Amino acid sequence: MTYRVCFVCTGNICRSPMAESVLRARVAEAGLDGRVEVDSAGTGGWHEGDGADPRTVAVLVDNGYGGEHTARQFRPSWFSRLDLVIALDAGHLTALRRLAPTARDAEKVRLLRSYDPAAGDDLDVPDPYYGGMDGFEECLEMVEAASEGLLAAIREDLEGRAA
C-alpha cells in the first residue's frame, strides 16, 4: 500500500515544490521509493501549468535536489487518496481544513514545521516570493529541518500499517 503526502502552499511555485523535492530525496535515501508518493499543489490556481519559480529551482539545484515541477491547484477530492496533507503556513492549514470533506480528512492536514522540534512556536514557513534569494535559502533550511521529523512520522505510520 502506497503512503501519499501532498505539500500545499499558495501558488505551488515556491514552498510546496521545494518541500516536495526535499522529501522525495529523503524518501529515496531511506529506500522507501516504492512505498511513499510525494506531491504538491497550491491553494489557488494562479500558476497552474507553470514551472516552479526560477529562484526555487536555483536553490534546489544548488543544493543537489531536482527542480522539475508543474504547478497545480489542490482539489478537495484528493483527500480520499492522501494520507497526509502538509500545509506550509497557518493560512494554508485553515484553508485546507475548510476544504476537507470530513472531520477525518481535516485531521490529515498538518503544518510542516510541526515536525521540526527546533521550530518552537513559529510553525510558518515564510513565503519567499516577494523577496530575494536569501528568503528562498531560508525556506530550504526550514524545509530540510522539518523533513527529517516528517520522514520519521511517515516511517512510523508505515510500520503501524504493517503490524
139 is catalytic: no
83 is catalytic: no
127 is catalytic: yes
Q: Which of 9, 89, 113, 116 is catalytic?
A: 9
Q: Which of 50, 83, 127, 157 is catalytic?
A: 127
Q: Which of 15, 24, 55, 110 is catalytic?
A: 15
User: Strands (DSSP E) along the chain, which ranges?
Assistant: 3-9, 36-42, 84-87, 109-111
Q: Which three cell numbers stand for residue 55?
A: 529562484
Within a 10 A sphere around the Cβ of 94, how many other Cβ atoms? 13
Beta bridge partners of 6: 39, 85
User: Cβ(96)–Cβ(121) under 8 Å?
Assistant: no
Which residues are part of the catalytic machinery? Answer: 9, 15, 127
